[in-house]
Every structure is written in structure tokens, then in C-alpha cells.
Structure 1
Amino acid sequence: MRWVDRAALVLGLGIGGFVDGIVIHQLLGWHHMLSGWYPLDDVHLMMLGDGLFHLLCLLLVLVGVAMLNRRPPLPNAVLAGGILAGWGVFNLVEGIVDHHVLGVHHVRHGPGELAYDLAFLAAGLVLVVVGVLMSRRASANPPARA
């Protein structure tokens, strides 16, 4: 048996990206997709980078929905667990690749940026663990049919 449903995982990757982009990029303004490589005063380039990132997130959500549509409905806990796990995988991959390997940006530039980056990775790990446990528990104990 798989740890989480693949369709829910893909959906969670897209949703996790949207949460990151909407909350950290737009609402908090802590960084933009390319703010580690280019000056922040190039508003057009920052918007272009964020827009391409959101387009990728939209494609992941659409692929996840299409994958879900091709299978029987999932129990709510399996779907939610997969989405949480996917969001966590997004945080881990994006955090390791963009923040540490490529240096595209950090969660929050300036003092304490390593602490913010590590907290982002820790949150991703917690989301994966909670999502996998939730999904596995629900899969092991399917609801009784009436």
C-alpha cells in the first residue's frame, strides 16, 4: 500500500505552492521568486517570476484534480492527508533547492534568514509526517458501508 494517494499528493504540491506564493510573496512581501538573484526594484521581473511560479502551481492543481477525477472518490482523511503531505513535499523541495542549493531566494532575507529557511523546512517535514500518518490511518481503517 502506498503512503499517500498520488493524486492528492500532486494536488497538495500545487496548493502548497499557492499558499507560499500568496502568503509569503504577496501578503507578507518577504520575498519574490527571483529576489535572491535580481534586485527587488525590478518590479516587472519580480512579478514575472512570481507569475510563472503561480502558473506552475495552477498546472499542478489541475493535474491533481484530473488525476482525482479518473479514480473512485477518496475518503476525506486520505484526501486531506495526501494534500498535507504534498504541501510538505513542496516545502522541502522548494526549501532545499531554491533556498539552499540555488539561492534563488530565502524565506525572509536579512537577519535570521537561515532560521526562517530552517523553520520552513521543519514545517514541511511536519506536514509530510502528519499527512502520511493521517492518510495511512484512514486507509487502514476504511469507514463501514451502510
Structure 2
Amino acid sequence: MSSLTYPSHADPRRTLLASALIGIGCMAAVDEIIFHQLLAWHHFVDRDTAFALASDGVLHAIELVLLVVGFFMMIELHGAGRQAPGYRGPGFLLGAGGFQVFDGVVDHKILRLHQVRYVDDLWLYDIAWIGFGVVVLAIGWLLLRRARRGHAASQR
């Protein structure tokens, strides 16, 4: 079991949501900064240059909004003494991994907004991109199960 103490007024769902928003925002920032700007492998929507750059700006704005909302929610939870111990890490990882898998499956494959990188062996990049997201999601899910067990044990 967990050695964390769970106040009776802790809010696991809101703690999980706030940290998931932060995780999504952080992973979107990593994608935007590393793959869009530094490596210049793709843009959010690969079309003509002006539209591609504008689409990156929209992604960046959304990422910042998610980060700000998530952090303000977390500050509000902390101030009210309602943060649920053990739920921040899983929420962050579920958000980050969920973003990565969504981006790889929906944006890359279904909508074809862009690819990870435009090369002949694209499937290697797809496997790495989506696979990384699945691993992060799995770790987040395992940590969430542990947090829920600890929370349930503290409620007895």
C-alpha cells in the first residue's frame, strides 16, 4: 500500500484532470519546440509555409492555454487543501501519453495533417512516435491504479 495520507476532502478527479492538462500542454510543447522548430521535421498542418507556420502558432497557443488552466486548477486545489496525493504523476503521464498517441494516430494517420518526418521508412518513425506514447500511457495507468488502491485503503 501507499504511505501517502489522503485527506477526506481530497479531490482525485480534479487533481487528475489538472495534471493531465499540464501533461498534454508539456508534451505539445516538446513536440512544437523540438520537432516543429528545432528539427523542422514538420508543422502542425503541412501545407504552404504561411499556413504551416500559422498552424504551429495555433498549436502553441492551445498548449499554453492548457498549461495555464492546468496550473491554475492545481494552485486552486493546493490552496483549498484538496490535492489528492499520488494522482499528479499519473495524470501528467496520462495527459502526455494521450497527446502523443492522439497525435500519432489521429493527426498523422487519420487526418494526415503531417507526418513525424518525411522519409522513405516512415513506419519506423510511426512505431517510435506512437510506441513512446503507449509506453507513457501504460506507466500512467499503472501509477493511477496504485494511487486508487492507496486512496481506497485510506478511506477504510
Which residue of 1 is the match for residue 64 of structure 2? 58
Larger Rg: 2
Match of 2:109 in 1: 100
Candidates 107, 123, 144, aligned match of 1:135 = 144
- The 5-angstrom pairing of residues 101-120 of structure 1 reads 101-120=110-129
Say which of 2, 6, 10 aligns to 2:21.
10
Is the CA contact (8 Å cut-off) linking 1:99 and 1:107 kept in structure 2? yes
Aligned to 1:31: 42
Alignment-derived partner of residue 67 in structure 1? 73
TM-score between both structures, scaled by the size of structure 2? 0.76
1:119 CA drift (Å)? 1.7
Contact 1:9/1:85, CA 8 A, preserved across alignment: yes
TM-score, structure 1 normalization: 0.81
In structure 2, distance between residues paired with 1:99 and 1:90: 12
State the aligned residue count.
136
Q: Secondary structure of the equivalent of 1:5? A: helix
Cα pair 1:78 1:136 within 8 Å, conserved = no
Moved more, 90-99 or 77-86: 77-86
Structure 1 residue 141, shift from structure 2 partner: 3.5
**Is the 1:79–1:135 contact (alpha carbons within 8 Å) kept by the matching residues of 2?**
no
Query: Helix, strand or coil for the counterpart of 1:70?
Result: helix
Q: Does 1:45 align with 2:51?
A: yes
Structure 1: stretches of 5+ with no match in the other structure: none
Over aligned residues, Cα RMSD in angstroms? Answer: 2.2
Deviation of 1:139 (Å): 4.4
Identity of aligned residues (%): 34
The residue type equivalent to 2:75 in the other structure is: N
Q: Deviations over 1:43-75 (max 9, x none)?
A: x33221111101011111122122223322343
Question: Is the contact between residue 13 and residue 87 of structure 1 (CA under 8 Å) also seen in structure 2?
Answer: yes
- Quote the Cα distance in structure 2 between the aligned partners of 1:124 and 1:29: 21
SS at match of 2:87: helix
TM-aligned CA deviation for residue 134 of structure 1: 2.1
Partner Cα distance (2:124, 2:84) in 1: 37
